[in-house]
A and B are shown apart, each in its own frame.
Chain A
């Protein structure tokens, strides 16, 4: 109903909407347990660069040059992480940049160190860069340490309004005609948000 990736996608959309007017760059990444192998630091950071670059009218010369050099070499390899970071440092110093990373805890621990160090290098160069991260609370300390900064922390729990909005949508999708009448609907809309709120209060009580 309101998972971390829902919040990430909501935030990314919001930032993208605003970015058009502000000429900002928004790049995102969703980590996923099921895709741990292919989500290496190089391809992950490369995909951030790809998103920034595809929003530019002209591809920066340094990148075009690197691509052409690579094409001249038989069996030429892709960019190295360090090159990608340098390119991101350059683009981030030229326009306001947002980096959104969802479910960072689903990234392999060894990869996570490299990802965070790379983001940190971008922040060192352009402190105005905004980094949005979601993940389990256990990784907060690691994020702060690697990014050598204190993070603003926000706990995501569905609010009453979210629950009601969700129920309205799901009830609207009900395919069993006649099973639902207005009074049952009203009961559901009243009872479930109360019960769920209680569950969340219990769930979020400190251990």
Chain B
């Protein structure tokens, strides 16, 4: 804690009320004396308590943000094509079909030609679905 903070201590409301009490009664009530001697300890504790609260709030905020994000995404669509994608990719045989990337058709589609007339935005692949599965199991 810096010096300015320490200086503020006597300005705190409970202190001013304590001084009013002392001028009126001529003597500080014992409870206030004890309170004063312990105040620095209490301040220390309350500081650490509020630090904990702050870090707890940060955690809560992060959870809330993550929660909001996933609620928003679920609101965009109930469907999760990535799940299907994962299924298919898990049963795919390594390296099979890699030749597709070497074809001129794939390369030119992928590279694109910056919106020129000859640019083709669409790559249409057709096979005979199921043929492979029927022939070899």
Binding site for B on A (CB under 8 A): 1-14, 28-30, 32, 38-39, 42-47, 49-51, 53-54, 59, 63-64, 67, 70, 78-79, 84, 103, 123, 127-137, 140, 143-144, 147, 149-159, 161-163, 165-167, 169-170, 192, 196, 199, 203
Contact = CB atoms under 8 A, between A and B. Distances in A.
Contact of B124 (A9, A50, A135, A163): A135
Given A2-B96, A43-B78, 14 more contacts: A2-B132, A7-B127, A10-B98, A29-B79, A38-B78, A47-B76, A47-B77, A63-B76, A78-B75, A128-B114, A135-B124, A154-B105, A155-B127, A170-B136
A133 B125 contact: yes
B121 interface: yes
Interface of B: 69, 72-73, 75-82, 84-85, 88-89, 92-101, 103, 105-106, 108-110, 112, 114-115, 119-133, 135-136
A3 B88 CA distance: 10
A2 B106 CA distance: 17
A7 B75 contact: no
A103 B129 contact: yes
With most chain A CB atoms within 10 A of its CB, the pick from B72, B76, B119, B129 is B76
A190 B76 CA distance: 51
A44 B112 contact: no
Contact of B77 (A43, A128, A170): A43
10 contacts: A2-B132, A6-B96, A39-B79, A49-B77, A134-B124, A137-B126, A144-B124, A153-B124, A158-B97, A166-B96
A147 B121 contact: yes
Q: Main secondary structure on chain A at its contact with chain B? A: helix
B121 A203 contact: no
Nearest to B137: A170
B97 A2 contact: yes
B81 A165 contact: no
Contacts of B115: 127-128
A99 B65 CA distance: 28
